[in-house]
Structure 1
Amino acid sequence: MQHLAAASSGQQSTLSPLFYLLPLVLLAVMFWFSRRRQKQFAAAQREIAVGDQVSTTSGLLGTLVALDESEGVIEAAPGVQLRFDRRAIVPRRLTENTADGTSTPTEPTDRPSDDQKA
C-alpha cells in the first residue's frame, strides 16, 4: 500500500511543472496577440489622412477634415464638425463579402435602402 502512495506522489511531482507552465504559456500567447493588435492599430492611425472616411472608437462615422499631431476634426454631417483626440480616430474599412469569398470596397450611403423605407 505504501508503494502505491509513493508511486502516485511521484506522478504528481512530474505533472506539477507542466501544470504551472501551461498558464505561463497561455499568458505569453495572450500578450503576444495583444501586442500585435496594438501595432496594427498604431499603423492604421499613421495611415489616416484628411479626406479619409473614419470612425471613432465610440462609433461616430464621418470624413476627416483636419488632422494634427494631437487631435483631428471629423465632419459627421454637412456643416457638423467635431474635434476628437487623434488616438480615438481610426480608418473606416467598409468591405462587403462577395460570393467567391473575396472582399470588395463599398461606398458609404446616407440613404436608407428600399427595405428600410417601408
Structure 2
Amino acid sequence: MFISSAYAQTAGAPAAQGGIAGLLNSPLPMLVLMFVAMYFIVLRPQMKRQKELKNLLDNLAKGDEVVTTGGLLGKITKINETMLSLEIASNVEVQVQRAAVVQVLPKGSVK
C-alpha cells in the first residue's frame, strides 16, 4: 500500500584483479611485511644487545670495575664460571652472580 516493492539489482561479476593490484589487496603480503618490520624493529636490536652482553660477561677479568643490576659498584677480586666477588668498600666483599653484571666501568671509577 504505502511501501513499494524493492527488487534486488543484479550486479555483474567483479572484475578479476591481476598483477600487483591483486597482490597488494591480499592479506599475505601485509603479514609478510609486518613480520619483516617486526624483525628489524624488535628482534634484531634485541639479539645485538644479547650478543654484546654475552661478550661483556665472557671478557670479565680480575681488577675490572663493574656495575650490577642491583646498583652495586665494585672491583672484581675473584672470579669463576658463575660467581664473582666484588670489593665494594675496603675490606668489604660481596658475592654476586656473573650474570648480574650490566656494565664495565673505566679504570679508576670506583674509589
Give me the TM-score of the superposition, normalised by structure 2.
0.68
Alignment partner for residue 100 of structure 2, among 88, 105, 115? 88
8 Å contact 1:64–1:73 — kept in the other structure? yes
SS at match of 1:92: strand
* Structure number having the greater helix percentage: 1
| Aligned partner (choices 29, 32, 56) of residue 44 of structure 2 | 32
Q: Which of 63, 66, 78 is the matching residue for 2:78?
A: 66
Q: Name structure 2 gaps, 5 residues minimum.
A: 1-10
- TM-aligned CA distance change 1:50 to 1:90, over 3 Å: farther
Cα shift readout 1:73-112 (whole Å, capped 9, x = no counterpart): 1011112111011111244235xxxxxxxxxxx84265xx
How much does 1:53 deviate?
Answer: 0.6
Give the unaligned 5+ runs of structure 1.
Answer: 95-105, 111-118
In our comparison, the structure showing a higher alpha carbon Rg is 2
Identity of aligned residues (%): 24
TM-score, scaled to structure 1: 0.65
Q: Is the 8 A contact 2:77 2:85 kept in 1?
A: yes
Q: Aligned partners of 1:109, 1:70: CA distance in 2, in Å? A: 23
**Cα distance in 2 between the residues matched to 1:14 and 1:62:** 57
Task: Deviation per CA, 1:26-66: give whole Å up to 9, x if none.
Answer: 23222222111111111111111111111112221110111
2:38 maps to 1:22: no
Sort the Cα spacing of 1:58 and 1:36 in 2 relative to 1 into closer, same or farther, 3 A: same
* Higher RCO structure, 1 or 2 (CA under 8 Å, sep 6+): 2
How many residues are treated as equivalent by the alignment?
A: 96
CA distance in 1, matches of 2:63, 2:110: 16
